[in-house]
């Protein structure tokens, strides 16, 4: 009886550990937080903004070509999201990044498609 209990405990532990390792974040999207989990203002994130932007564009049905991908990489290199500590600074930097992408990466057709999605969502100010 004790051997069975131990066996099931070991199996449960192995399954738990394997599921935790599979659900871990990718190397490009790791998060680092402060010791106090309730202090959201002090959290710092090191996020792969290029991958995140591509994911968002893909969800909207917008596909970037190679030249646009290169421009996206160039623009993303200008922004240091990891160095920003306050929520307001991060929000302002994200808005600047999005405007930069909109104005310098997207084609007029892609901009029109994005504008249409924003209008259908009720977001008229473009943020």
- pLDDT of 111 reads 92
Residues 6+ apart with CB under 8 A from 25: 31
Q: Are 81 and 93 in contact (CB under 8 A)?
A: yes
Helices marked H in the chain — which ranges? 2-22, 49-59, 66-77, 87-104, 108-121
Q: Is pLDDT larger for residue 3 or for residue 106?
A: 106
First to last CA, the chain: 62
Inform me whether the pLDDT recorded for 11 exceeds 80: no
DSSP string, 89-122: HHHHHHHHHHHHHHHHTS-HHHHHHHHHHHHHHT
Per-residue pLDDT tens for 68-115?
999 999 999 888 888 888 899 989 999 999 999 999 999 999 999 888
Per-residue pLDDT tens for 24-74?
444 444 444 444 444 444 444 456 888 889 898 988 889 899 999 999 999
Q: Are 82 and 44 in contact (CB under 8 A)?
A: yes
């Amino acid at each position: 009886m004790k051997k069975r209990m131990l066996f099931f405990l070991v199996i449960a532990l192995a399954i738990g550990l394997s599921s935790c390792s599979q659900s871990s974040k990718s190397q490009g999207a790791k998060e680092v937080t402060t010791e106090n989990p309730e202090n959201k203002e002090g959290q710092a994130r090191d996020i792969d903004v290029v991958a995140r932007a591509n994911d968002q564009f893909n969800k909207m049905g917008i596909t970037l070509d190679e030249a646009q991908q290169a421009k996206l990489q160039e623009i993303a290199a200008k922004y240091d999201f990891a160095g920003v500590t306050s929520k307001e600074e991060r929000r302002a930097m994200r808005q600047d990044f999005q405007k930069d992408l909109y104005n310098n990466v997207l084609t007029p057709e892609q901009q029109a498609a994005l504008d249409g999605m924003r209008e259908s969502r009720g977001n008229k100010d473009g943020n």
